[in-house]
Structure 1
Amino acid sequence: MLKRESMTNPFRAEFPFYLPCCVLMLDDNEEFLQSVRTAISGEHAVLCYTSPTRALTRLRAAEKQAAQGFYPFSSVSDEAFTDDGDQLVVFQASGLQEIIGSPDRYGMISVAIVDEVMPEMRGLEFCRKLQKSGIKTILLTGEMTDPAQTIAAFNDGIIDRFISKGDAQALDKIILAIAELQQRFFTDKSPALYLATTAARKCGLTDDQLNAVMAEAHAIFPYTEYYFHSKSGGYLLRDLSGATKLCLFSDQETQGEVADFLADQEGGLAEAEKLRCGSHLLPWGFLNDEFVDENPPGKGTQTTRTSFAARAVAGAFWCLIEESDMPPSLYQGPRQNETSWDAFKLGLLAVPLNEDTAI
């Protein structure tokens, strides 16, 4: 049996953010479209089209949406260049965490499933139009498909997978192919973001340590999407139902530096010791007035910093913070028109065929 999304940890250190995306399916057989959409709706949100023209219009819109999400950079100025001729740009890290509040974020399309034999346009011709978009393609073949032509298209990178409609395991293969190709979609689009967010991290964890932390976090809170959070240096996590938590992490050296600051500047010896021994976590980004308790119980008027009980794995310290414990400057909560991934998938089942507006 295939794993449900929430059971599979989506985190990869090389992806600064990840979210489940729409799948677009193009076939001239309406009954086939509806049956496949219903069959895989538990795992994927599927937009169905019988019109290649309208499907292509929707995919072009999705291509622009992806470009905005994967390129949160802006030029310093039209005249800001290095001696080598490279233009200087600014990484707008806050743009990544803003994606989580975008009501149309799930409308991004990562995979297109296209029937080869259609009256208006052949599937391979349609897929050729998507070659530079970054959207991954699955070609559905049948008795009238030319096998040699299909294999050549696969070898030339015109299509990323091909699956026979007559295969008894076609549905399972489609579900697995979508999952694999969505990973490739993010892999292909994330390199520049990865370099920028690695430089923006507030501690010295390696990718392996970060992967270990996020695997343990997923075991406790099975998130399906995550976003690099520049203010804290952690990740905002969201699960299928829309619940949100913040994952913070640090290393021994960084926690020692924060502990020294607390002890030297504020006299917080007790808090500093908690950080040094790894029982509690307080990132550099939390050294502000929003995380200060001026009158802690039983301690008179002593000022203490709000730290969080930490766990340890692979030489890293980490914790999960509940949405209710996040100050507004870090996360303002779900917006009025936000929806969860589960609710989005359910709602998409009612979207008519050939719907080409942004979701």
Structure 2
Amino acid sequence: MLKPFIQPYYHPTTVVMVDDNQRFLENFSLQLDETLACMFFSSAKECLTMLNGRAKRTPLDQRCFSYYQQPTNSDRVIRLDLTLIEQEISNPERFRDVSVVVVDYDMPEMTGLEFCQRVRNHRVKKILLTGVADEKVAVEAFNAGIIDHFMMKSDPQITTRINRTIADLQRRYFSEISSLIQSTLALEAPDFLYDSEFIRYFFELVDARNIAEYYYVEDPSGFLMVSETGQLRRLVVYSEADLQRTLFNLRLMNPPATIMKQISSGKAVPWLWAAPDEFDEDEDFYWSDYVHAAHRVVGEDTWFCALVDSPPADIEYDSETSSYMAYLTELDKQP
């Protein structure tokens, strides 16, 4: 059994529904999770044209890697640039990625199965809606890997099941598209990504703060988090060993004794995006701006975590155009 882990990045994506019955689409749209970004099509051909005709954006997992030749030999070196992960928040196109397609089997232009076979992006997850008479076809399609899930339109629990299935498949979609980053990061990954107690704390925080997307960052390790409305937060995470090394380095900067006491007790952690020696002699350095109250998480290791509101970020970001809420508003305006 694979050990649970936190994916290096996650953001909302778009779900597409295809059914030739316009009334069914309208009714079903009211049953879906209101936070889902959805597009609805009553024409399978029109939807397929949209899916296959979209200009392909190079996936983040490919953009993060670069290859170059060593000057002294013929070896090729692969480099992972983790800074590109957090910079994805400034890309408003990220939400347009289609992760899941929900398609009816019985349609006049083409069957749902034919539709799924003609979707060119093999990363997209597919749910087939069927009638009782089509169940055998759906089972065969699932076993053949053409679809990822199927369910009966007549299922009285379809609302609950479709929302849960979409959420599961979106997670699976992200697990697959970030697998290359995951496997490379795992060579030196911080252990908190795999610590079950930290994972529980992390997703409780995501729910409590309405976090819509998150991106792994380094120096210090943690995550850049973004709410639905575009508010930025930075989760800073230290292990006990990290904290001790940081305390050693901090002593060279002569911080106030109260600051050192807060950090050494684990009640606070530092994040110095600036240092005292960067300021002029007549300028004050306010240590309190760089030290944040910490929450202790005890799992396989002990983690000291601080959530920083409105953190400094060297990224061009406009919440009015690049937030998930802005994208949902744009979708609502479409006919």
TM interval, short-chain normalised: 0.7 to 0.9
- How big is the shift at 1:275? 2.2
Residue equivalent to 1:115? 104
Match of 2:248 among 260, 264, 267: 260
Query: 5+ residue gaps in structure 1?
Result: 1-11, 353-359
Residue equivalent to 1:27? 19
Whether 1:149 aligns to 2:137 is: yes
Match of 1:249 among 199, 212, 237: 237
One-letter identity of the residue aligned with 1:36: F
- How big is the shift at 1:293? 7.6
Whether 1:338 aligns to 2:329 is: no
Give the Cα separation in 1 of the matches to 2:159 and 2:63. 36
Give the Cα separation in 2 of the matches to 1:101 and 1:311. 29
Match of 2:270 among 282, 285, 289: 282
Give the Cα separation in 2 of the matches to 1:291 and 1:24. 54
SS across alignment from 1:168: coil
Give the Cα separation in 1 of the matches to 2:92 and 2:247. 40
Match of 1:94 among 83, 86, 101: 83
Paired residues of 2:9 and 2:215 also in contact (CA < 8 A)? yes
Paired residues of 1:115 and 1:123 also in contact (CA < 8 A)? yes
- How big is the shift at 1:108? 1.3
Give the Cα separation in 2 of the matches to 1:115 and 1:290. 63
Give the Cα separation in 1 of the matches to 2:118 and 2:276. 51
Residue equivalent to 1:357? none
Give the Cα separation in 1 of the matches to 2:295 and 2:71. 45
SS across alignment from 2:162: helix
Residue equivalent to 1:40? 32
SS across alignment from 1:46: strand
Q: Percent identity?
A: 25
Residue equivalent to 2:155? 167
Match of 1:309 among 293, 299, 318: 293
Match of 1:69 among 49, 55, 60: 60
Q: How many residues align?
A: 326
Whether 1:233 aligns to 2:221 is: yes
Give the Cα separation in 2 of the matches to 1:351 and 1:33. 15
Residue equivalent to 2:47? 55
Give the Cα separation in 2 of the matches to 1:82 and 1:35. 65
Give the Cα separation in 2 of the matches to 1:117 and 1:244. 44
| Residues 216-245 of structure 1, C-alpha deviations (whole Å, 9 max, x = no match) | 533642312211124542211122333221
Residue equivalent to 2:117? 128
Shift in alpha-carbon separation, 1:301–1:244, aligned structure 2, 3 A: closer
TM value normalised by structure 2: 0.84
TM value normalised by structure 1: 0.78
- How big is the shift at 1:138? 0.5
Shift in alpha-carbon separation, 1:147–1:216, aligned structure 2, 3 A: closer
- How big is the shift at 1:40? 1.5
- How big is the shift at 1:198? 4.6
- How big is the shift at 1:292? 7.2
Match of 1:105 among 90, 94, 100: 94
Paired residues of 1:37 and 1:349 also in contact (CA < 8 A)? no
Residue equivalent to 1:182? 170
Paired residues of 1:140 and 1:163 also in contact (CA < 8 A)? yes
| Residues 186-235 of structure 1, C-alpha deviations (whole Å, 9 max, x = no match) | 1222222123445576x654521541441353364231221112454221
Which is worse superposed, 97-106 or 286-295?
Answer: 286-295
Paired residues of 2:238 and 2:303 also in contact (CA < 8 A)? yes
Higher relative contact order (CA 8 A, sep 6+): 1
Shift in alpha-carbon separation, 1:96–1:112, aligned structure 2, 3 A: same
Shift in alpha-carbon separation, 1:138–1:256, aligned structure 2, 3 A: same
Paired residues of 1:281 and 1:318 also in contact (CA < 8 A)? yes
Within 5 Å, give how 1:195-206 maps onto structure 2: 195-198=183-186, 205=192
Give the Cα separation in 2 of the matches to 1:82 and 1:162. 55
Paired residues of 2:231 and 2:319 also in contact (CA < 8 A)? no
Give the Cα separation in 1 of the matches to 2:101 and 2:296. 41
Paired residues of 1:109 and 1:135 also in contact (CA < 8 A)? yes
Whether 1:349 aligns to 2:335 is: no
Shift in alpha-carbon separation, 1:102–1:333, aligned structure 2, 3 A: closer
Within 5 Å, give how 1:6-17 maps onto structure 2: 13-17=5-9
